[in-house]
Amino acid sequence: MSHREYGKNRKPRRLLVTGGAGFIGANFVHYWSARYASDRLVILDALTYAGNRNNLRELEGRENFRFVQGNICDRHLVDILLKEEAIDTIAHFAAESHVDRSILGPAAFIETNVIGTFTLLEAFRQHWQSQQNPEEYRFLHVSTDEVYGSLGPDEPAFTETSPYAPNSPYSASKAGSDHLARAYFHTYGVPTLITNCSNNYGPYHFPEKLIPLMCINMLLGKPLPVYGDGQNIRDWLYVTDHCRALDAVIHGGKPGETYNIGGNNQVKNIDLVRTLCKIMDEMAPNLPVRPCEQLIVFVKDRPGHDRRYAIDATKIKTELGWMPSVTLEEGLRRTVEWYLKHEDWWKPLLSEEYQAYYRKVYA
């Protein structure tokens, strides 16, 4: 069965999307509402610094859309939503996700990523059991390739059976949540699905992450800080391709299984930044500094900085027919264009709190 066929002859789903006002979550909500207009989408988001209700502005007021501001650790609220909305699918994106912030303050990462995931799993287990364990129910846990640790230059890419070796408080908290999702399938039979993806990029990306940070700093004529020697390698996945993969996993994935989702785009950080500079030079007419490459500065490396990540996505390609469709060059162009057109979105995010965080990390 190809990925395109998963949407045929299906009953409408009723989804609870946690973290749906964040970067990947919001892109998923836009993707899903466009593809499956008859599905009910209930968004639960705490609207912390990286959650932005403006990410979902175009969907507000639609009949099948509901936004709820709240915390995934609030068991009472989660129970009410599962019952009231007759939820059959949880798409769990809500997470603290920035390595630098996890180094500065790890407690929030344990609270949201471990306790929050446990709260959702336990609520969903009881909800599922109260409905006599329906076969079509799904709990999708969206995770990261960082749980596998770091790769040497010549080591093969991570597969679903790679041992866990997290190196930051962030990746350790995500590893813990992965283990909980797996345990709930094996202990209780809860129909969980785990996905581990490589670095996402695209629209609605909070400006502390590498690609939006570089885009915005170029537009402002500010330095482009690159950690260490810039030789760290990441695999980059355009966010819409990730949403297509999650669609395939929800509809065709086997409960209890893990699926690695990668973009087949391994690039050194410094090469990625230089490519972005060239695209920005070409696409932005009124840059304060041109060429942008002269803004690159190397800064003190992040503690415990993983050298290389790479995803082997053979399993999801073989079993579910998914492959990335957007090349890195095309995805970066789309992303730069989005930031050029949406200054009204990113300018308000550069708050004093953000500036203070930025100085602390890159000073």
Average of per-residue pLDDT across 102-123: 95
Task: Say yes or no to pLDDT of 175 above 80.
Answer: yes
Q: Give per-residue pLDDT as tens, 230-289.
A: 999 999 999 999 999 999 999 999 999 999 999 999 999 999 999 999 999 999 999 999
What percent of the chain shows pLDDT beyond 70? 98
Report the mean per-residue pLDDT for the chain.
95
| Count of Cβ atoms closer than 10 Å to residue 86 Cβ | 10
Using CB atoms within 10 Å of the CB of residue 52, give its burial: 0 to 12 exposed, 13 to 18 middle, 19+ buried. buried
Among 17-26, 45-54, 187-196, the range scoring the smallest mean pLDDT is: 45-54
Q: Give per-residue pLDDT as tens, 120-154.
A: 999 999 999 999 999 999 999 999 999 999 999 99
Question: Which pLDDT score, from 0 to 100, does residue 361 have?
Answer: 83
On whether the CB atoms of residues 93 and 28 are closer than 8 A, the answer is yes
The CA distance from 208 to 43, in Å, is 23
CATH of the domain at 141: 3.40.50.720
Question: Which pLDDT score, from 0 to 100, does residue 5 have?
Answer: 59
On whether the CB atoms of residues 72 and 112 are closer than 8 A, the answer is yes
On whether the CB atoms of residues 123 and 75 are closer than 8 A, the answer is yes
Domain for residue 62, yes or no?
yes
Task: Say yes or no to pLDDT of 8 above 70.
Answer: no
The CA distance from 295 to 137, in Å, is 50
Task: Say yes or no to pLDDT of 67 above 70.
Answer: yes
Residue whose entry in the numeric block shows the structure tokens 């040497």 = 152
Domain for residue 185, yes or no?
yes
The single-letter code of the amino acid at 316 is I
- Catalytic positions, written as ranges: 145-146, 170
Q: Which DSSP state fits 91?
A: E
Q: Which DSSP state fits 45?
A: E
Q: Hey, what are 342's tokens?
A: 């949406």
Domain for residue 193, yes or no?
yes
Task: Say yes or no to pLDDT of 1 above 90.
Answer: no
Task: Say yes or no to pLDDT of 21 above 70.
Answer: yes
To the nearest 10 degrees (0 to 180), the angle between helices 117-130 and 169-188 is 20
- Phi and psi angles of residue 41, each rounded to the nearest 5 degrees, phi first: -120, 115
The single-letter code of the amino acid at 268 is K
The CA distance from 337 to 331, in Å, is 10
The CA distance from 213 to 211, in Å, is 5
Domain count, the chain: 1
* Residue 99 confidence class, pLDDT cut points 50, 70, 90: confident
Question: Which pLDDT score, from 0 to 100, does residue 7 have?
Answer: 61
Q: Hey, what are 323's tokens?
A: 């492959």
Domain for residue 303, yes or no?
no
For the sheet containing 89-92, what is the strand order? 65-69, 40-45, 14-18, 89-92, 138-144, 192-197, 258-261
Q: Which helix (H) or strand (E) holds 318?
A: helix 314-320
Residue whose entry in the numeric block shows the structure tokens 């009410």 = 80
Domain for residue 150, yes or no?
yes
On whether the CB atoms of residues 159 and 222 are closer than 8 A, the answer is no
Give the largest Cα separation in the chain, rounded: 63
Average of per-residue pLDDT across 288-298: 97
The CA distance from 65 to 85, in Å, is 11
Task: Say yes or no to pLDDT of 208 above 90.
Answer: no
Q: Cite the DSSP H helix spans in 221-308.
A: 239-252, 269-283
Question: Which pLDDT score, from 0 to 100, does residue 108 have?
Answer: 92
- Phi and psi angles of residue 343, each rounded to the nearest 5 degrees, phi first: -60, -35
The CA distance from 95 to 19, in Å, is 7
Identify the domain containing residue 117 by its residue range: 3-204+237-264+308-327
* Residue 9 confidence class, pLDDT cut points 50, 70, 90: confident
Q: CA angle, 49 as apex, 70 and 284 as ends, to 5°?
A: 135
The CA distance from 237 to 198, in Å, is 6
Domain for residue 281, yes or no?
no
Q: Who contacts 78 (Cβ-Cβ below 8 Å, separation ≥6)?
A: 44, 72, 119, 120, 123
End-to-end CA distance of the chain: 52
Q: Cite the DSSP H helix spans in 189-238.
A: 210-220
Domain for residue 130, yes or no?
yes
Question: Which pLDDT score, from 0 to 100, does residue 98 have?
Answer: 77
| Count of Cβ atoms closer than 10 Å to residue 308 Cβ | 18
Domain for residue 212, yes or no?
no
| Count of Cβ atoms closer than 10 Å to residue 266 Cβ | 18
